[in-house]
Amino acid sequence: MNSKLNKYYFGYIFVAPFFISFAVFGLVPILYTLYLSFTNWDAFNDPAYTGFGNYTRLLHDIAFYQSIGNTLIIWIFSIVPQLIIAITLAIILNEKFIRGKHFFRAIYYFPNIITPVTLGVLFSLIFDWQTGSINKLLTTIGLVEDPINWFNNPWWSRLIVAAVICWQNFGFNMIVFIAGLQSIPDEVYEASQVDGANGWQKTWYVTIPLLRPVFIFTLITSVIGGLQLFDSPYMIGNGPNNTTRTMIMYLYETAFKNFNFGYGAAIAYGVFVIVMCFTAVTVWLTRRREQ
Amino acid sequence: MKTTTVWRTSIAILLIAAMLVGCGGKDKQSTASQPARNASGELEGNLVVWTFFDQVEDMAAQFMKENPKVKVEVKTFPGDDYQTKLLTALQSGQNVPDVFDLERSYIGKFIDSKYLSDLSAMGAEDLVANYVPYVQALGRASDNTIRAVSDHSSPGGFWYIRENAQKYLGTDDPDQISDMVNSWDKIIALGQKVEQQSQGQVHLISNSGDLFDIEAYNTEPWVKDGKLNIDPKWEQYYTIQQQINDNNVDAKLSFMSAGWGNALNDGSVVLTTMPAWASFMIDNDNGAAKGKYGVARTPEGYYNGGTYRGIYRESPNQELAYEFIKYIAGEKWQQHNLEATGNMPGNAKVYEKNLNTFTSEITGDQKVMKVYYDVVKDLPALQPDKYSEEILSTWRKVAKEGITNHTDYAAVLANFTKQVQNAFPEIQAP
């Protein structure tokens, strides 16, 4: 039986397009970037081999470390409220007695379909210190006397960038959580009710633990996505003293503004290592808790 | 070979071929040069022009009107990615344009590259002989040969709403206003007066950063002999900017921001520093701005932006491409462009011809070209280099933060030097 099955290679044929396209459009650029990271290349002349020069520079590059710090701060400020809002809304909108829940699900998901560039521009206009509507509102209601120069303050700048990302993504995570909630069997809730659990206890002791796989999924995707932040913060700007410049923004500026593709490639690999480490830590932590 | 094996292999090949068919492109262009003229001496052939803005369509249309046997295909790629797209095409040599546009902010990166034809060797020195000096210098490579030519200059001035100027400055005459603001000391004193008179509602200028824009090209290049070169004038300008900021001479509205556009139209800023090409920012629906504005001279010559056009060195249509460059450098096109769009010419002869006659709808009877000609003549003829624009933008940002936060000049300079060295480690610190 086995030997007969082994004669057929249809499976390889059917999966071949993916592997070939991945090799052409994924693997080749990845390997080419690796090659470039060992060169000094301004795109106008041929790449010149520099060995580990770019990586040595990267290890001593304060601006790169600053961009890592900025990315992590923005990511934490966006991911924590994002998950709290998403799970809270998912639990509320999963209740049978809530009317118009489909409407609210669509409304909360809506920011996710707006391009990050648009959101970046929108928030930079809203928070403009001279003409932005937030300052107009605050001064009109008398909460502040003079307009706040939001983008001249590192922490306000980072918080605004984090708010953009939070606002854009909480709807998506909410949908994922709702899908997770709907996969929890009713019998579990019925059993907990028989045991005398109230609504709060059902959420805390049944819903949250059974949603752990969904949490892990959202956490890992958020780590990967969050550490590659680019478009929204790019539209908002680098912040005072580059305090909102993320790792990918730094890569973009190095490669595509300063035309230093060799060092840009080294930054790309640096970012890859950092994302890999954080993802591994996240997986390790979640597995450890499961054990 | 078994039939099934043949069948399986065929399917596999078909699948792979079907997938890769989209990856192919046109072959590299032939580098053999083609003659531009036919037997009867008329220009003939096809040209591909790459640009980032749509006014080139008119340029191509006018050229084709002059030369009916020529077809110019204009490909427009708006946005910041244009330079990356262009560079990728030039590197690969696939689907490359014959002529391509380069913007002022990145021409310095391209100008010494192997991708641009030497236009001096083709006779371009004659084309730009009558040009405004700063415009022709920006198209020169480090070996002093011409590699790109612009069809316009981009001078700027202080734009003002006449009624507003009458109210706060006591006159709407451009010459009188130019005299009132011909030094930064006068601007600060006048700005304080306007602020007091309007009880803080109206400011003389938009932003202390306007000073950067005006002085940006009146200073020495940022890199000299591989070393970071900080012109001592920057310290003086920094102090003046600080005074402008602290005395509320400016409305603290950044160039081209939404608030800046509003102020330009509603008059909450008396004088707006603006290049001639930015008049589209003025709301002129149904002729609402007809004759409403005047333009005065800035304390020193000032320009902002500019588009240059070069020929791809491997293009087989060198001759025809050069004819196109020749056309846009000529008086006929620049006169048409001036009348159609209000873009100021690069050719000084066109300036001189129109100085006493040209008027535009927005600025009414004023002979605005007189103002702009005075401005562009003042500007030093500096050649572009691959660092200066990025370094200037770093300086602008660091100094702006310093002014807002009242940081002393030495600290701003230290931060700036650190950032430049980080971005360009090959440049030596001063």
Alpha carbon distance B374, B155 (integer Å):
9
Read off φ and ψ for residue B34, nearest 5 degrees: -105, 140
Å between B60 CA and nearest CA of chain A = 28
Which are the contacts of B266, defined by CB distance < 8 A and separation ≥ 6?
none
Read off φ and ψ for residue B366, nearest 5 degrees: -60, 140
Residues in a beta bridge with B228? B223
pLDDT value of position A127: 93
Interface membership of B406 toward A (CB under 8 Å):
no
Å between A194 CA and nearest CA of chain B = 59
pLDDT value of position B237: 95
The complex's ipTM? 0.84
pLDDT value of position A216: 87
Q: pLDDT (tens digit, 0 to 9) for every residue of chain B, 430 residues total?
A: 455 555 555 555 554 444 444 444 444 444 567 777 777 788 999 999 999 988 999 999 999 999 999 999 999 998 878 988 999 999 888 899 999 999 999 999 999 999 999 999 999 999 999 999 999 999 999 999 999 999 999 999 999 999 999 999 999 999 999 999 999 999 999 999 999 999 999 999 999 999 988 999 999 999 999 999 999 999 999 999 999 999 999 999 988 888 899 999 999 999 999 999 999 899 999 999 999 999 999 999 999 999 999 999 999 999 999 999 999 999 999 999 999 999 999 999 999 999 999 999 999 999 999 999 988 988 999 999 999 999 999 999 999 999 999 999 999 999 999 999 999 999 998 8
CB B126 within 8 A of CB B295: no
Residues in a beta bridge with B273? B158
pLDDT value of position B194: 96
Answer yes or no: do A16 and B16 touch at CB < 8 A. yes
Q: What is the DSSP string of chain A?
A: -HHHHHT--HHHHHHHHHHHHHIIIIIHHHHHHHHHTTEE--SSS--EE-TTHHHHHHHT-HHHHHHHHHHHHHHHHHHHHHHHHHHHHHHHHTSTT-TTHHHHHHHHHGGGGS-HHHHHHHHHHHT-TTT-HHHHHHHHTTS-SS---GGGSHHHHHHHHHHHHHHHHHHHHHHHHHHHHHTS-HHHHHHHHHTT--HHHHIIIIIHHHTHHHHHHHHHHHHHHHTT--HHHHHH---GGGTT--HHHHHHIIIIIS--HHHHHHHHHHHHHHHHHHHHHHHHHHHHHH-
Q: In which band, very low, low, confident or very high, does the pLDDT at A97 lie, cut at 50, 70 and 90?
A: confident
Interface of A with B (CB under 8 A): 9-10, 13, 16-17, 20-21, 24, 43-45, 57, 61-63, 125, 128, 130-131, 149, 152, 238, 240-242, 253-254, 256-259
Å between A131 CA and nearest CA of chain B = 6
Tens-place pLDDT, residues A117-167: 888 889 999 998 888 999 999 999 999 888 999 999 999 999 999 999 999
Tell me the residue type at A153: N
Å between B62 CA and nearest CA of chain A = 33
CB B31 within 8 A of CB B318: no
pLDDT value of position B408: 95
pTM: 0.86
- Closest C-alpha among B266, B312, B314 to residue B289: B266
The secondary structure of residue B146, as a DSSP letter, is B
Alpha carbon distance B39, B2 (integer Å):
63
Q: What is the DSSP string of A137-197?
A: HHHHTTS-SS---GGGSHHHHHHHHHHHHHHHHHHHHHHHHHHHHHTS-HHHHHHHHHTT-
Strands B269-275 and B223-224: unpaired
The secondary structure of residue B28, as a DSSP letter, is P
Mean pLDDT of A93-100: 83
Mean per-residue pLDDT of chain A: 90
CATH number, span B45-153+305-354: 3.40.190.10
- Closest C-alpha among B95, B93, B100, B94 to residue B74: B100
Count Cβ atoms below 10 Å from residue B97 Cβ, excluding itself.
23
Q: Which of A13, A56, A148 has the highest number of chain B CBs within 10 A, making it the mutation to test binding with B?
A: A13
